[in-house]
A = this chain, B = another copy of it.
Amino acid sequence: MEFKLSFPINESVYIKNPDHSDIGRKIIKHGIDLINELGFEHFTFKKLAIEIGTTEATVYRYFENKHRLLLYIISWYWFYLDYLMDYRLQNMHDPKKQLEEIIQILTHELPESSGGLDYNKKYLNNIVVAESSKVYLVKEIESINQEGVFKAYKDLCRKMATVMLAYNPTYKYPHSLSSTIVETAHYQQYFVQYLPRLTDANDANKKEYANVYLTDLLFKVLG
């Protein structure tokens, strides 16, 4: 028994909704696999088309370019985080516990079986950590932001900021602290794995490091 998670991803992200056809869903699923395997710079629509047994032109009918496909994947992640936070925090009324749960969600692989979607969560996590900043670190940022494609990220930060203010109503920078926590969760995971000298992790605490570091930081900042 499965139900299908479907998120209202901004329509200007795609040309044709990939969620409405078999080939569209293949583009997302195998897109995640291939971006994970090759890295975003080496990923191309041609390689993706070969992977899923179709042609480049078909992929271009769904997405204007590979940046838009990445934006779709990362948007899906933002919506999924938002959904997970709602779901996990709903019966949790202590803001401290809520904040701990938020960091838990941000620093661990997304749970595998929630929804009928079969995206590889390990790969999705790798992409989020290594590639997500590339969706906004582009010269076209002002025009794509005007399309509203970052709304999900902004909503997520607003939700986190609300919980922070419930914990400490006098804290002045809850939105910045939220985006800091999200971004730091990503690149501290990356640094632990690839540039450990930029962290204080070691082989023993590696696995829970980002969680422990961020929890310590968050509660010290919020007091």
Contact = CB atoms under 8 A, between A and B. Distances in A.
Question: Which one of A153, A175, A176, A197 has the highest number of Cβ atoms from chain B below 10 Å of its Cβ?
Answer: A176
Interface size class, chain A: 35 or more
Interface of A: 38-39, 41-42, 130-131, 133-134, 136-142, 145, 150, 153-154, 157-158, 172-180, 183-184, 187-188, 190-191, 194-195, 197-201, 213, 216-217, 220-221, 223
Given A184-B183, A200-B172, A200-B173, A137 B190 contact: yes
B198 A41 contact: no
A130 B188 CA distance: 18
A115 to B, nearest CB: 27
26 contacts: A38-B139, A39-B139, A39-B140, A41-B138, A42-B139, A130-B137, A133-B133, A133-B137, A137-B190, A141-B194, A150-B195, A153-B195, A154-B197, A154-B198, A157-B198, A172-B216, A173-B213, A173-B217, A174-B200, A176-B199, A176-B200, A177-B217, A179-B188, A183-B183, A183-B187, A217-B221
Given A173-B216, A188-B176, A200-B174, A195 B136 contact: yes
Q: Please classify the interface of chain A as helix (H, G, I), strand (E, B), loop, or mixed, using the class held by over half of its residues.
A: helix
Contacts of A42: 139
A193 to B, nearest CB: 9
Contacts of A194: 136, 141-142, 145
A223 B223 CA distance: 10
A32 to B, nearest CB: 15
